[in-house]
Structure 1
């Protein structure tokens, strides 16, 4: 069956499809011409016995406003006998009807001329279906490039996206009419989302060639915490307070070492806020994950002593550059270790040392000599510093209960063995 008078309809349909994808008019014209070029090559290639022969050349012009497609086929003129393999690219000059073809009389051998091709004369539906297939593929590729170019600057940033689909292994979220892929392996045990929820995610990768979602996100990445702090805490965003180091077990606890570029600004109090009001939105976003904020110290002993909160140590012994022994009172031994040893494992990660914890009695019995730790007065008494928070070493436990109720985890025991394997 002949396809007649479909040019305008085809062009308008494909144009509308591409515009929905945000493709510009100039790009649509270019992609349509490329699609017809490839389809015509295939159409005429099928007539050749020798597939190695050069494909025919076409000059294609598409008027999107009028829905017209003009196609001319390029011929090379010759006065020699043409073999079947050359029939698609050459035409003997004696076979030309110069009047009908409107070819100039001074046309010479090896010159080119163009012959109009009537698309309505193509006698099967497959040609136009193939054009449509080629065009939609090209539009999809162009759309991916646009997404890549638009979101490449979002890499290593956080965005608030809407949960559109909850699958067995992942979530699909939408942000600015684009899809974000969040694997459940990149979430914590506390992250249980449902359709319609709005959640912050950290963009880790923008893929140009992905078949599905090109924007890949995480909520487990440690930098996710940094970006949440920058969003919620003005001093962090302004770089008055710097995040020096983070150790995290997603869904259980995060420890953060912070410093201040201004002596009068208390980095811990500025982040925690009065009664935890500043840190609370971050804990809520993390679905109750515990967060310990620790002030930076150049002294490794002091840094370790601050980092073991809510536990306390009375001394340290340097075994080597990589290993330290921590000494604690009997009553503080378990709080230094933490459940399943999680607290001390995070501290070890935070200070990048191997840590062995002993009670004072154990140290005395093993004749371990250790350096007594005294927390500097300036760290214990911050009442003269800006954004003072009561959450410091000597009364941290009182305020820590404020966060404790937000961090209850039913699956804690089930996760013990996995933690042991990891550490």
Structure 2
């Protein structure tokens, strides 16, 4: 342990960003282990490193007693008072016991322990960095595929994109640069495990925050997002400034902003609609691009009956019911969509049923009179 070793520690502090105190604590613990392994584990010792010249000294901690039974742990009162006349029975005395060849043996034994502590400190730094970034977006390079999981290089560490969080149909090639959503950061024995997602609605939210300055600045807010990854997303936005059109801000000049997001999501369709505190208006907007004639809501059951023109019915429902399904997720209301002719037919049937019921009642009254 000499100056060159201290210089090496300084380099580690600079390169790895690890606290010098953490390194010295690790080093002292390692040297204590080395001493006990090579010179006897029965002693109660502590290590002291001179941070100026790198010298390491070993001190045995002994209890002052009247009669010594274990000379490794105890020191006679007379011997103790030769060191300092003020010592009394029960006091702890530090006695230097540094072996002549301690430096060489200690350095050899301590090396792996110090490296291990450095790895642990690095892992802790990475964990602290990423645990505070949960629910954020991160850019990385596809490193390799392992058992259908994608390993993504995030710089100081790797992230895992599990099969369940991958967009169906997306192909990931080594070296591809992708944006992902940090779903969860876990502590494991092998270091921090960073779970990424390409399917989470939060990814779309963060992409809009990156692309739309008005969202980043709080002028435009995102109310809700409904997503079927790889296929289609609906996003409801509103403006805190009456002079700013929220949908226009998100779309951008000639669609440039939303196009950048669609490209990042490999062609996933995105519908941007205006949120409105009037639920009828919001439900109507949520079914975009379909045109809505009327919305009738049941507040208690959170259900809505929507009437659309006949030629708009298939558009309102969407392929395999996707548009209606996403609108229901976006608004958190159950939506029943009818065409204008279906609604009229139902109304006619209801009227006929009512008339038949009245006729039945009148017939029963006549029979009673008779």
**TM-score, L = length of structure 1:** 0.70
Hey, what does 2:275 align to over in structure 1? 296
- Whether the 8 Å CA contact 2:46–2:59 is kept in 1: the answer is yes
1:347 equivalenced with 2:327 (yes/no):
yes
1:138 equivalenced with 2:117 (yes/no):
yes
Q: Report the CA distance between 1:180 and its aligned residue.
A: 3.0
1:205 and 1:34 mapped to 2: Cα distance? 33
SS of 1:154's equivalent in the other structure is coil
Change (3 A) 1:24 1:81: closer
Alignment root-mean-square deviation, CA:
3.6
Q: Report the CA distance between 1:29 and its aligned residue.
A: 1.7
Per-residue deviation, residues 297-344 of structure 1 (Å, max 9, x unmatched): 222222222211233333333345311222333432222222222221
1:130 and 1:298 mapped to 2: Cα distance? 69
Per-residue deviation, residues 124-149 of structure 1 (Å, max 9, x unmatched): x8x86663343233222222332244
Per-residue deviation, residues 181-202 of structure 1 (Å, max 9, x unmatched): 3333223225432222222222
Change (3 A) 1:62 1:164: farther
Q: Report the CA distance between 1:19 and its aligned residue.
A: 5.8
Q: Which segment drifts farther, 313-322 or 291-300? A: 313-322
Hey, what does 1:236 align to over in structure 2? 215
SS of 2:181's equivalent in the other structure is strand
SS of 1:279's equivalent in the other structure is helix
Structure 1 residues 105-116: aligned runs within 5 Å:
109-111=89-91, 112-116=93-97
Which of 1 and 2 has higher RCO (CA within 8 Å, sep 6+)? 1
Per-residue deviation, residues 211-233 of structure 1 (Å, max 9, x unmatched): 23444433322222122112111
Hey, what does 1:420 align to over in structure 2? none
Q: Report the CA distance between 1:349 and its aligned residue.
A: 0.7
- Whether the 8 Å CA contact 1:233–1:278 is kept in 2: the answer is yes
1:201 equivalenced with 2:180 (yes/no):
yes
SS of 2:182's equivalent in the other structure is strand
1:89 equivalenced with 2:73 (yes/no):
yes
Aligned mate of 1:156, from 104, 123, 135: 135
SS of 2:221's equivalent in the other structure is strand
Hey, what does 1:37 align to over in structure 2? 32
Hey, what does 1:255 align to over in structure 2? 234
1:74 equivalenced with 2:61 (yes/no):
yes
SS of 2:347's equivalent in the other structure is coil
Structure with higher Rg: it is: 2
Per-residue deviation, residues 26-56 of structure 1 (Å, max 9, x unmatched): 4322210122234545667756xxxxxxxx4
- Whether the 8 Å CA contact 1:59–1:72 is kept in 2: the answer is yes
- Whether the 8 Å CA contact 2:143–2:153 is kept in 1: the answer is yes
1:119 and 1:208 mapped to 2: Cα distance? 42
Structure 1 residues 254-293: aligned runs within 5 Å:
254-293=233-272
1:368 and 1:274 mapped to 2: Cα distance? 48
Where does structure 2 lack aligned partners over 5 or more consecutive residues? 351-370
Change (3 A) 1:118 1:14: farther
1:307 and 1:217 mapped to 2: Cα distance? 29
Hey, what does 2:47 align to over in structure 1? 60
2:86 and 2:115 mapped to 1: Cα distance? 43
Q: Report the CA distance between 1:248 and its aligned residue.
A: 1.0
1:261 and 1:13 mapped to 2: Cα distance? 56
SS of 1:171's equivalent in the other structure is strand
Q: Report the CA distance between 1:61 and its aligned residue.
A: 1.9
SS of 2:306's equivalent in the other structure is strand
SS of 1:293's equivalent in the other structure is strand
Change (3 A) 1:212 1:181: farther
Change (3 A) 1:44 1:109: farther
1:26 and 1:210 mapped to 2: Cα distance? 23
- Whether the 8 Å CA contact 1:323–1:355 is kept in 2: the answer is yes
Aligned mate of 1:117, from 92, 98, 106: 98
Q: Report the CA distance between 1:254 and its aligned residue.
A: 0.8
Q: Report the CA distance between 1:239 and its aligned residue.
A: 1.9
Q: Report the CA distance between 1:350 and its aligned residue.
A: 0.7
Change (3 A) 1:158 1:106: closer
1:323 equivalenced with 2:303 (yes/no):
yes
